[in-house]
Amino acid sequence: MTNTTKKGFTLVELLIVIAILGVLATAITVVLNPAELLAQARDGQRMSDLDTMRTALGTYVSQANTINLGGEGGTAGQCMATTGASNGPFSNTTLPAAVTSRAVNGSGWVDVNFTQLSSSPLGILPVDPTNSTTYNYCFKGVNASPYTYKLAGRLESAKFKAKMVSDGGTQSTCSSYTEQTCWYEVGTDLTL
């Protein structure tokens, strides 16, 4: 006589393992908070983009034969001055739904002609990862010596919210993330 017992898991054992895996997956999702991690990734991109723009504008000011830092918002409509409206980081500015022009020839949201340099520091202008009325980038330049400028963007993660308060800029009243006076600001004159 031969013993022909089959080895394997019972249905009850498999259901217990599946239940344990479900509980672990739920716990990991709650602890890691994927929405916050995605917001942090977008904020990292925003801070990197604004730092890249600050470097490009510094290169432009130091190398351009004729400096023209445009003004408040580019011709594409980003942070354009509008009488009576103020939801942008500068006085009397309004925000469009999204940036449409990323051109570096002075027609983008930063109305500075980077192509007049022998080697443009940018191929295209960066845009906010969300690129909406709430989350976007803004620029303001002053066309007089010492040629100052300010770039602004709004952050969304809890981890980086404090940077909007402590960046040294004038738009740092942040009880929530999206009020008119809450922006992450970089540049050579944060009082603009």
Tens-digit pLDDT profile for residues 146-158: 888 899 998 999 8
Query: CB under 8 Å to 112, separation ≥6 — which residues?
Result: 57, 60, 68, 69, 70, 106, 141
d(CA 53, CA 124): 11
| From 2-6, 14-18, 129-133, 173-177, the region with the lowest mean pLDDT | 2-6
Q: Does the residue 156 lie in any domain?
A: no
Higher model confidence: residue 67 or residue 73? 67
142 compared with 89, residue with greater pLDDT:
142
Look at residue 123 and tell me if it is in a domain.
yes
Q: Is residue 98 part of a domain?
A: yes
Please state the pTM of the whole predicted model. Answer: 0.79
Which pLDDT band holds residue 82 (cuts at 50, 70, 90)? very low
Residue 54 inside a domain? The answer is: yes
- Order of strands across the sheet with 149-153? 137-141, 149-153, 184-187
Report if residue 94 sits inside a domain.
yes
Does the pLDDT value for residue 77 go beyond 60? no
Question: Does residue 109 register a pLDDT over 80?
Answer: yes
Return the SS3 of 138.
strand
**Which residues contact residue 36 at a Cβ distance below 8 angstroms, ignoring those fewer than 6 apart?**
157, 158, 159
pLDDT mean over 39-63: 95
Rounded Cα distance, 33 and 27, in Å? 10
Domain limits for position 107: 39-151
The DSSP secondary-structure symbol of 114 reads: G
Q: Is residue 9 part of a domain?
A: no
> What confidence tens digit (pLDDT) does each residue in 19-31 have?
999 999 888 877 7
Residue 127 counted as domain residue? yes
Q: Give yes or no for residue 74 having a pLDDT over 70.
A: no
pLDDT confidence bin for 38, thresholds 50/70/90: very high
Name the helix (H) or strand (E) containing 54. helix 34-63
Q: Which residue has the higher pLDDT, 97 or 184?
A: 184
pLDDT value at residue 4: 67
* Owner of token pair 């190398």: 63
Bridge-partner residues for 187, per DSSP? 150
Q: Quote the number of domains for the chain.
A: 1
Residue 52 identity (one-letter amino acid): T
Per the document, the length of the chain is 192
Residue 47 lies in a domain: yes
The residue among 43, 98, 45 whose CA lies nearest residue 76 is: 98
Tokens of 116: 């007049």
Give the per-residue pLDDT at 93.
64
Residue 141's φ and ψ, nearest 5 degrees, are -120, 155
Q: How confident is the model at residue 170 (pLDDT cuts 50, 70, 90)?
A: confident
Q: What is the pLDDT of residue 7?
A: 78
